[in-house]
Amino acid sequence: MAVNGKKLDEDVFLEQRKQVLGMWKTGAEVDIDEAIAYHKAMPAHKNITNQMQAARKNGRTIIYNLSGYSTIGQQKDLLLTLQNEGGSGFLICIYDSYTRTCRFEQADAARLESERSGKNLLNGFPVVSYGVKGCRELFESVDRPVASLGPSIENRLCTEIALASGFSQMTINSFTVFESYTKTVPLEDIIACHQYSARLVGYYQDKGVNIAVVAPNGAGGDNAPGTAPTSIGSSGNILGALLCAAQGVKHIVLEYHAHGNLAQDVATCLVRMELAREYLDRLGYNDVEIYLENGQMGGMYPLDFDQAFVQVVYGASFAALAPAERCQVKTFDESSSIPTKENQVRSLVGAKMMYDIFRCQNIDFYHIREVQEEANEERLETRAIVDKVLEFGDGDVVLGAIKAYELGIMDNPVASNPRVKTFTMGMKDTSGAVRYLNPGNLPLTKDMVDFHREKLAAREKSIGHKLDFDTIVSDMRALTDGTWLTGLYGR
């Protein structure tokens, strides 16, 4: 499918909508003019953009976690519990896997069986199955904004129904989906679907309705922390923001999930916001607002719940230091099962307590030497990657990204898609910061590569042998064993 980075023509977009809404029977419930009026009539505090703007003004961070159950009854109970007992700042409906892959008939059957049996048979909430009527029932049962989320190749009908139901945030994760959620679908096809969803957000925006979009990341390290140096993820985030802005999105959330070195984590938040603003302005998107979300480390959790709790609350600590408008919290029992609502509440409450402790310190963390060193290096590397992608596309983000993946300029060390080169590989240094063990085909200068090699040489000296693949795997598994790094303190 031929795609480029230009804004979809409105006539073409509206013609596509006819096909999209015909994908499943509940598409007939979407009336976009009525939906726009519905958004405008709702209380201001139920819009996520309004909440983020208030958080920025008041110097606060919205803390929330992810959630998705099979039936309206189960999901309503969960969201009300997170709202009333956990104090979640807004609420999320994660799509189930059937919905993410457009197997709507199977999602419908599983949803009906869940309602009959009382069991939770899906790994998320079947937004398309319930349609606008059902999703509005859910939305109106709570007093928080509601967002939708689901890494999917084809997300167009999900977005139509979610926005028409009153949800005020969606996720555009083109790069992440390409790297980790398909082995066969070309990037062009994924971007084409996601451009439609971004264009739909832009359509609402043109009519005066603020909708937030979480921008694509790519190689953010969520699946294998410690293997993806932060400048890869920052580059993907910035390019993703440009992709969304081209379709008329005005409120973009930049994500960063922790690797665990506090100086590097805070520095990455600083650089992503700074450079995203720089490139948005450079390409003429001066009226786009950007917001920062950070949070927990991804990857394997400790099997011990008490140790996992530390990993959960860490995200809230650097959310206070960055600072961020929002912080995503995971749940400490995710290593062994689908989290219970009770443990989701406990994780939220613990993270909020940690956030409050760090927030009241009032420390200017950005300007300490270690943070500045990390930020200076990441700026250089991120600019090198983003500039090369834009050069490939002659200023067109989409064309540049397609070419960049072909050549390994955009990369992911642990991508499951064979179309991604995976030439790049990272590893943690003695302090847990992620460095390039192999920069692959990234357009890094000798000075940049030497910076990382010096950091890793210090780790080799500390453990007494050469760093290799076994060290990477050991680091990835270290948290499950209740430690931080292989060979740390002689262990």
- The model's pLDDT over 70-115, given as tens digits with 9 standing for 90+, comes to 999 999 999 999 999 999 999 999 999 999 999 999 999 999 999 9
Confidence category of residue 42, pLDDT binned at 50, 70, 90: very high
The 10 Å Cβ neighbour count of residue 175 is 30
For residue 400, count CB atoms less than 10 angstroms from its CB and return exposed for 0-12, middle for 13-18, buried for 19 or more. buried
Q: Which amino acid is at 163?
A: L
CB proximity list for 474: less than 8 A, separation 6 or greater:
486
CB proximity list for 74: less than 8 A, separation 6 or greater:
114, 120
Q: Which of 19-33, 316-330, 375-389 has the lowest mean pLDDT?
A: 316-330
The alpha carbon of 149 is separated from its chain's Cα centroid by a whole number of angstroms, namely 9
The Cα 339–Cα 348 span in angstroms is 12
Confidence category of residue 222, pLDDT binned at 50, 70, 90: low
Q: What is the mean pLDDT of residues 351-360?
A: 93
| pLDDT score at 415 | 93
The Cα 91–Cα 147 span in angstroms is 6
* Domain 10-366 bears CATH identifier 3.20.20.240: yes
Mean pLDDT of the chain: 93
Instruction: Please name which of 297, 141, 153, 128 lies closest in space to residue 221, comparing C-alpha atoms.
Output: 297
For residue 235, count CB atoms less than 10 angstroms from its CB and return exposed for 0-12, middle for 13-18, buried for 19 or more. buried
Predicted TM-score (pTM) of this structure: 0.96
Q: What is the mean pLDDT of residues 384-413?
A: 97
Alpha helices in 393-445 (DSSP H): 397-407
Residue 294 structure tokens: 């950070």
The 10 Å Cβ neighbour count of residue 182 is 19
Ordered by start, the domain boundaries in the chain are 10-366
Confidence category of residue 299, pLDDT binned at 50, 70, 90: confident
**C-beta separation of 489 from 312 below 8 A:** no
Residue 325 structure tokens: 């408008």
**C-beta separation of 208 from 283 below 8 A:** no
The Cα 180–Cα 420 span in angstroms is 9
The Cα 350–Cα 310 span in angstroms is 9
What is the 3-state composition of the chain as percent helix, strand, coil, each rounded to the nearest 5?
A: 55, 10, 35
Confidence category of residue 307, pLDDT binned at 50, 70, 90: confident
Confidence category of residue 1, pLDDT binned at 50, 70, 90: low
435 phi/psi in degrees, rounded to 5? -125, 160
254-293 per-position pLDDT tens digit? 999 888 899 999 999 999 999 999 999 999 999 999 999 9
Confidence category of residue 491, pLDDT binned at 50, 70, 90: very low
For helices 187-206 and 397-407, angle between their N-to-C axes, nearest 10 degrees: 150
